Amino acid sequence: MEKPPDGYIVFCKRACETCATVVPAMKEIAEAIAALTIYCQDDPGFPEGLPGVIDDTALETSFYFDIETVPTLIRMEDGQETGRAVGWDRAEWRRLSGMDGLGGDLPEFRPGCGAKNVEPGIAEELAVRFGKVPLASRRIESPQLEDDVETCFTRGWTDGLPVVPPTEVRVVRMLRGTDRAADEVVGRIPPNQAPCTVEKVAINAVMAGCKPEYMPVVLAAVEAALIDDFCLHGLLATTYFSGPVVVVNGPVTKAIGMNSGVNALGQGNRANATIGRTLQLVVRNVGGGRPDEIDRSTLGNPGKYTFCFAEKEDDSPWEPLSVERGFTKDASTVTLFAGDGVQAVFDQLSRTPESLARTYALCLRNVAHPKIPMAADAMLVVSPEHGRIFSRAGWTKSRLREELDGLLQFPGADLVRGAGGIAEGVPEALKEATLPKFRPDGLHIVHAGGTAGLFSAIIGGWVASGPKGSQSVTKEVRS
Amino acid sequence: MTKTTILLDPTSENAPERRKRLPRPADLQGLTVGLLDISKARGDIFLDEIEARLSGKGMKVKRYQKPTFARTAPVELQQKISTQCDLVIEALAD
Of A184, A162, A188, A164, give the one whose Cα is nearest residue A175.
Answer: A184
Tell me how crowded residue A319 is: count the other CB atoms within 10 A of its CB.
15
Residue A398, CA distances (Å) to A317, A318, A321, B29 in order: 12, 9, 12, 68
B10 contacts A204? CB cut-off 8 A = yes
- B2: pLDDT strictly greater than 60: no
B9–A140 CB contact, under 8 Å: yes
Contact A235, A338 (CB under 8 A): yes
Beta-carbon contacts of A362 under 8 Å, excluding residues fewer than 6 positions away, are: none
Give A425-466 pLDDT, tens digit per residue. 999 999 999 999 999 999 999 999 999 999 999 999 999 999
Instruction: Please identify every stretch of chain A with a pLDDT value under 50, giving residue numbers as ranges.
Output: none
**Number of other CB atoms surrounding residue A401 within 10 Å:** 18
* 3-class DSSP state of A152: helix
Could you tell me where the DSSP H helices lie in A384-424? 384-392, 397-407, 412-415
SS3 state at A42? coil
Q: E strand or H helix at A237, and its extent?
A: helix A232-237
Euclidean distance between the first and final Cα of chain B, in Å?
A: 29
The vertex-A79 CA angle with A78 and A84, nearest 5°, equals 100
Q: Residues near A268 by Cβ (< 8 Å), separated by ≥ 6?
A: A259
Is-contact A386 A413, C-beta < 8 A? no
Taking CB atoms and an 8 Å limit, are A203 and B9 in contact across chains? yes
Please give the sequence-ordered ranges of beta strands (E in DSSP) within A347-395, or none if there are none.
378-382
- Measured CA to CA, the distance from residue A12 to residue A37 in angstroms comes to 11
Give the span between the Cα atoms of A222 and A332, in whole angstroms. Answer: 15
Q: What angle do CA A246, A250, A253 make, to 5 degrees?
A: 65
In sequence order, the β-bridge partners of residue A409 are: A436
Q: Name the residue facing A286 among B7, B8, B11 (closest C-beta).
A: B11
Q: Name which of A141, A196, A132 is nearest A169 in CA terms.
A: A132
Residue B14 has its nearest CB partner, among A154, A192, A204, at A192
Distance from CA of B51 to the nearest CA of A (A): 32
Q: Which of B2, B4, B12 to mutate against chain A (most A CBs within 10 Å)? A: B12
pLDDT top residue among B72 and A222: A222
Band (pLDDT 50/70/90 cuts) for residue B56 is: confident
Cβ within 8 Å, pair B4-A195: no
Cβ pair A313, A320 in contact under 8 A:
yes
- pLDDT class for B28, splitting at 50, 70, 90? confident
Give chain B positions within 8 Å (CB) of A199: 8
Whole-number Å distance between alpha carbons of A226 and A236? 12
Interface touch B10/A168, C-beta < 8 Å: no
| pLDDT score for A350 | 98
Q: Number of A to B CB contacts under 8 A, please give it.
A: 83
In this predicted structure, what is the pLDDT of residue A135? 94
Residue A362 · residue A277 · CB < 8 Å: no
Contact list in A for residue B2 (CB cut-off 8 A) is 144-148
CA A25 vs CA A19, A43, A90, B52: distances in Å:
10, 19, 9, 90
pLDDT in tens, A115-134: 999 998 898 899 899 977 78
What average pLDDT does chain A have? Answer: 96
Alpha-carbon distances of B88 from A55, A227, B22, B50, B83, rounded to whole Å: 58, 48, 13, 12, 11
List, as one string, the DSSP characters of chain B: -PPPEEEE--S-S-S-SSPPPPPPPS--TT-EEEEEE-S-TTHHHHHHHHHHHHHHTT-EEEEEE-S-TTSPPPHHHHHHHHHH-SEEEEE---
Spatial separation of the C-alpha atoms in residues A112 and A28, rounded to whole Å? 19
Using CA atoms, how far apart are residues A370 and A367, in angstroms rounded to an integer? 7
Please, which pLDDT band fits residue B94 given cuts at 50, 70 and 90? low
> Taking each helix axis from N to C terminus, what angle separates A90-97 and A23-32, rounded to the nearest 10 degrees?
10
Question: Chain A contact for B70, CB < 8 A?
Answer: no
What pLDDT is attached to residue B70?
A: 86
Helix A215-225 × helix A198-208 angle, to 10°? 110
Let me know: does A446 contact A456? Beta carbons within 8 Å.
no
Do A344 and A355 contact (CB within 8 A), yes or no? no
Residue A4 β-bridge partners? none
Mutate to test the interface with A, among B3, B5, B14 (most CBs of A within 10 A): B5
Q: What angle do CA A354, A355, A356 make, to 5 degrees?
A: 95
Residue from A306, A363, A371 nearest A339 by CA: A306
